[in-house]
A and B are shown apart, each in its own frame.
Chain A
Amino acid sequence: MWGKRPLLLLFDVIVILLSAAALLLICRKLWICSLSLGLVVSVVGVINCVKLAANGDNFYPWDLSMAKNAGQLIGFARFDLPPLFFVIAPLFLLFTVLYALVDADIMLKWYIRLPGACALITAAAVIYSLPDVSGKILEKFGMSFNDNVLQSSNYHANGFTAAFTLNCLATKVTSPEGYSEKAVTDYIGSYLNQPQSDFAASENGGTAPDIIVVLSEAFFDVRTLKGTTFSQNPLENFDKISARESAYTGKLVTTAMGGGTVRTEFEILTGLTADYLVNGTSPYMYVSRELETSVSNYKAQGYRTTGIHSYDGSFYMRNSAYPKLGFDEFITQDDMEKDAEFRRGYITDKTLTNYVINTLENNSDSPNFIFAITMENHQSYGKTAPEDVVVRVENSALDGDVLDAVTTYTQGVYYADLSLGRLVDYIDSRKRDTALLFFGDHLPSLGSNRLAFIQTGTVSNGTSYTAADREYLYSTPFLFYSNFGADFESAAFGQKKISTYHMMPLLARACGTEMTPYMRYLYDNLAEHPYYNVRINNEISDEGKDFVNSLKLITYDRVKGKRYSLP
């Protein structure tokens, strides 16, 4: 690792040097510094090693909050420690004894040492409190906050010291200006004080329909790439279903582009905004306690809540977060592999749809809420073998490799569309009331740096995106559908561009399921403030700005704050 990435070694050396310097300045005696450092390193190393052996997870900074469980882990330790540990750890002790015998110390007066230590600690605190600055520092050493979206690769690629430090820096969520109990309750207090019956189901005669929400990886209308022709319509089913009276379609305004599924997902499920969390981190890393979400809301209404994802369950830390969001069960790639179909190395949408249908069939004794995340059309989009091309794509404006990317992506859209058609056919065949929300999480980055969009003239060059460009790049299609005539259009007040955080209240309203006070608050703002996020930075009224501020405060309140916004 260090041989291939010398900058990483430099980063690690700086971290350990600064830690040792701070300790030395505080303790003065070399042996106290070496003993403390040696102990911390040994204990952390052992915990990391044992955790890896026990459940495949590394040691994260937020594990410190669960220190009381450390004993359980250490219980496994004696069998799992690698042999060199028993050489190096005693050497630490030997060195420390030598340092103590020599009584080596730094010959500085306390009035120089202590301010020096304070200066070091303050500098670290300042860097921690300024995510923009820490992000730039990480970049200098070839790292990024994005690295922590999958912790296993973070610790594998960056090593323990750098990955742990990166995670420490990423935990910083600053309290927004003006955050207080009064500020939060000024926005949502009237909803919290209403009797719960005011939020009860009404529109659907009190029955409990099954709810299916499908996040389709990178799904967007590829036909909007200017000047592009297709040998057949890759979105045939989407078009047909959209044209039905019982369907409602529009644009979902997201905060992700090219990647960052978890941002869209987090906003959909929680009704919060990821705009003010550290850029590039998984919002789930902040979910250390139970969180009120649409999922927990359905669970409270007697629903069986199931998450389904045809990929690694630890990706974006979903496996640890989902139980806290209210999911009863999380079905992942590990559960699917035995009977899965693969394409381009990913489990297909067809397989995922099978699991959605099976979940509904196997749990028919209770209403179901299913949140399914597809994977088949995930990047990267290399060249598809000619015999595998179902929909041929042509556009003379595209470079060869970019056209390859668009072609490969289009095949994925075609298969996603097939699965959508099959799922809707299944919904139509059911006797039980069933509603579907299907949406794309973000646009794909076709070619490096959005080249397909630029070369086709669909958006202007990346350095000068217009407001229209930004809206295009941060909008994906959504489709509501039901087999019981839910009136999505009325529930949406006819809005065609809607932010992520509004979607679940809208769905609940149209289906007549109960809403939490916060969902009702969001819903009451849908008509006037249908969409905004900092990425598209669309113009909004002063009232709109106030609503956005409320999202900012409530997000912080629920993620890191005092939770004044809960009933």
Chain B
Amino acid sequence: MGIREKVFKNRACRIVCWSTLPLYLFGCLFLLEYMNFGTAP
């Protein structure tokens, strides 16, 4: 089993990934509005 499989391909990491998705999407929204206003929306 390679390092990638050992370190990343496990249930805990998957949970971390999916739990960061809302943050990622909010980051997308934030960036669009930030680039529009030049400041935090």
Query: In the complex, A13 Cα to B35 Cα: how many Å?
Result: 17
Query: In the complex, A102 Cα to B41 Cα: how many Å?
Result: 32
Query: In the complex, A84 Cα to B29 Cα: how many Å?
Result: 13
Are A103 and B9 within 8 A (Cβ)?
yes
Residues of chain B within 8 A of A49, CB atoms compared: 35-36, 38
Are A12 and B36 within 8 A (Cβ)?
no
| A69-105 contacts to B (CB < 8 Å) | 81-82, 84-85, 88-89, 91-92, 95, 98-99, 101-104
Of B7, B29, B35, B36, which contacts A16 at CB under 8 A? B29
Residues of chain A within 8 A of B17, CB atoms compared: 30, 98-99, 102, 104
Residues of chain A within 8 A of B9, CB atoms compared: 102-103
Are B28 and A30 within 8 A (Cβ)?
no
Does B25 touch A at the CB level, under 8 Å? yes
Are B29 and A13 within 8 A (Cβ)?
yes
Residues of chain A within 8 A of B13, CB atoms compared: 101-102, 104
Are A17 and B25 within 8 A (Cβ)?
yes
Total contacting residues, chain B, CB less than 8 A: 27
Q: Which chain A residue has the least Cβ–Cβ distance from B18?
A: A104
Are B20 and A95 within 8 A (Cβ)?
yes
Query: In the complex, A52 Cα to B39 Cα: how many Å?
Result: 14
Query: In the complex, A16 Cα to B31 Cα: how many Å?
Result: 12
Contact A88-B29, Cβ < 8 Å, known A104-B18, A160-B36: no
Are B35 and A82 within 8 A (Cβ)?
yes
Residues of chain B within 8 A of A45, CB atoms compared: 31-32, 34-36
Contact A102-B31, Cβ < 8 Å, known A2-B41, A95-B24, A159-B36: no
* Chain B binder among A36-44, A281-289, A463-471: A36-44
Does A1 touch B at the CB level, under 8 Å? yes
Are A84 and B34 within 8 A (Cβ)?
yes
Q: Could you tell me the dominant secondary structure of chain A's interface residues? A: helix
Are A104 and B14 within 8 A (Cβ)?
yes
Q: Which chain B residue has the least Cβ–Cβ distance from A44?
A: B32
Does A550 touch B at the CB level, under 8 Å? no
Of B8, B24, B26, B37, which contacts A102 at CB under 8 A? B8
Q: Which chain B residue has the least Cβ–Cβ distance from A8?
A: B41
Contact A88-B20, Cβ < 8 Å, known A102-B9, A102-B13, A103-B9: no
Residues of chain A within 8 A of B37, CB atoms compared: 1, 156, 159
Are A88 and B31 within 8 A (Cβ)?
yes
Does A58 touch B at the CB level, under 8 Å? yes
Residues of chain A within 8 A of B1, CB atoms compared: none
Does A188 touch B at the CB level, under 8 Å? no
Interface string of A143-166 (1 = CB under 8 A from B): 000000000000110011100000
Are A88 and B33 within 8 A (Cβ)?
no
Q: Which chain B residue has the least Cβ–Cβ distance from A1?
A: B41
Query: In the complex, A21 Cα to B9 Cα: how many Å?
Result: 23
Query: In the complex, A81 Cα to B14 Cα: how many Å?
Result: 34
Query: In the complex, A156 Cα to B38 Cα: how many Å?
Result: 11
Query: In the complex, A17 Cα to B7 Cα: how many Å?
Result: 29
Query: In the complex, A159 Cα to B31 Cα: how many Å?
Result: 11
What 9 A-B pairs come out closest when comparing CB atoms? A45-B35, A160-B36, A104-B17, A101-B8, A49-B35, A41-B28, A102-B13, A160-B32, A102-B8
Question: Could you name 14 residue pairs across A and B whose Cβ atoms are closer than 8 Å?
Answer: A1-B41, A12-B29, A13-B29, A16-B28, A34-B24, A44-B32, A45-B34, A84-B34, A91-B27, A92-B28, A104-B14, A159-B33, A160-B32, A161-B33
Given A46-B35, A95-B20, A155-B36, 15 more A-B residue pairs with CB atoms under 8 Å apart are A2-B41, A13-B26, A13-B29, A16-B28, A41-B32, A48-B32, A49-B35, A49-B38, A85-B34, A92-B24, A92-B27, A101-B8, A104-B13, A104-B18, A160-B35
